[in-house]
Structure 1
Amino acid sequence: MRVLGIESSCDETGIALYDTEKGLLSHRLFSQIEMHAEYGGVVPELASRDHIRKALPLMQQVLDDAGLTQNDIDAVAYTAGPGLVGALLVGAAIGRSLAWALSIPALPINHMEGHLLSPLLEDSPPDFPFVSLLVSGGHTLLVDVRAVGNYHLLGESIDDAVGEAFDKTAKMLGLGYPGGPALAKLAEQGVSGSYDFPRPMVNRPGLDFSFSGLKTAALNAWHNSDQSVQSKANIALAFETAAVETLVIKCRRALKQTGYRRLVVAGGVSANQSLRQALNALPGKQVFYPAMRFCSDNGAMIAFAGAMRQQAMKPDMPAIFTVRARWPLDELTPPSA
């Protein structure tokens, strides 16, 4: 079965084709970073318009790369949420229209489920069950994953997501957009121990996160510094160290609570090398990540999630569709025939 995946939840247009027997056949991604950098962040209306321009040409390129045509597609999966409503509607409208025209199933996919399942695209995927740490610009979640669609939320951020905190701190330091990777790169030049920022909520029970206070600590340190290049690097390192240690502490706690040995880390922040090094050092645990090219938003994870669900579902062909700006992961249910 071949599933076409369409990702358009924010500022990246991703299209991919996944075959349940042969694996990922082809994928294409267009990032809008250059366009949004001028404004210091994503402009929703511009994002939506650019998805309209890019989606169909990318789809044709994906089919050409695989040596296939639209008639070779067995199902279409598209991101239905969470995300920017206008951007989501572009992918949903294209996905549903194509499915109706070809009389094939259309599958609305939760964006975070796509990230959660993306490490299963690798040659050595994790077995169920496992704990998943989902870290991105919009979400920080710890999830007990027992099977596809069988998710139990363990903890989440009560304010800023960790990726959002990275981006806002980077913007405060004048690092531009997107800020997270720039901050991580600058942190390599920092002197360890120059600042000691708090590890939020690690001294209280539970698995929830909070990063707004850490962001404020970095802001105060910047205002009270000499604002030199070295001070900027020192603050970046202190922020990254505190954020990483906070995530590691909560992951260790989640693994102990569930009794699992496997940890899956996905989402844009999973590309952070300091985070990977710290998590890989967890004793007696197996840690899995998506390939670096699939850490950020992409169509491959949507196509794969669609394939996993379609294999156990009846065709879905209603003449209506909807998208959701907010769609909690724990509202999903396992696919069933």
Structure 2
Amino acid sequence: MRIYIGTFNEEDADKVVKDLRSVGVKTELRSSLDAEIQTHYFVEGELKKLKNDYKNSFVVEILDEIEESFNTARSVMYDGIQIPDFEENILNKVMPERKNYDGVKNTIKNVLEKHPKPISINKKLDTKLLDEFINEVGEEKIYGYIFQFSKERNFIVNLHYLLKANGVMYKKGKMYGKIKENPYVKVYMEATEDEAEKFNIQREYESFVDKNVDVYANMIDVIYETKRISELCKKKPEYTKLLFMAILVERIIEKVKGKVDLDQLIDEVMDIQEEDEELHLTIDAVNEILKTMEKAEIIKIKNKKIMLRK
């Protein structure tokens, strides 16, 4: 009998196998491919034509925003402008509310300067830094700034993508060229399938294929390695399922005194009351456990009677 541990990617499955092997439990792996298809909706073409084609739909509002972004970019763009200067100038124009977070940015800069080593991407360190920022300026302002920063980055990334496709060249940290008067754009958007059909919005599909690994533990090993599994569970509670199965076998053994009627035993172990919880098993599950115990030569079943092996 096998005990299902879980489904993992290959790397995590290897870790689980290593953990169980360390306590004497053999494993069985079964691989499968998981495919997911995502639909992306978009419109593509010259901006002026698109605005005319979609003038009677919600798409025109998105195109108006794109057109306004191009107009603002033209107002701050000149040959040789430094990329950071361009970004600051255009963000100040399209998102004037960002000025409200100047104080927060300065505080963050001061906190970071106190750390002697460069900041690395580390979960515990990030949490510690976040707590420092919150203590300095307050939780509401910090999370407001994080939201604002994310919005700015998304805008800038998308804008550079559009500018590169419409006459702007990037070289050594500077921008050159002239933005086309009628830019060619490809704009992704949120839409429903009904909206795509109604307004003739284009679709493209993206497929993701991942390998999943189902990990199973050998039940007999679990029965004989209860003590070692218990120690493992203290360090890694995610394996408590195995300990539960081992304890369940112990409960069955406790109920086998001499020769016991098989059906009676099954009725008794289908619902076991523990200190903090009730354990409920199906008849099929109990039968599988008993078969495994018999295979492990812990019990003997004959003529609808069950007894412990000596």
Q: TM-score, normalised by structure 1?
A: 0.21
Q: TM-score, normalised by structure 2?
A: 0.23
**Does 1 or 2 have the higher relative contact order (CA < 8 Å, sep 6+)?**
2
Structure index of larger Rg: 2
Question: Which structure shows the bigger proportion of residues in helix conformation?
Answer: 2
Question: Which structure shows the bigger proportion of residues in strand conformation?
Answer: 2
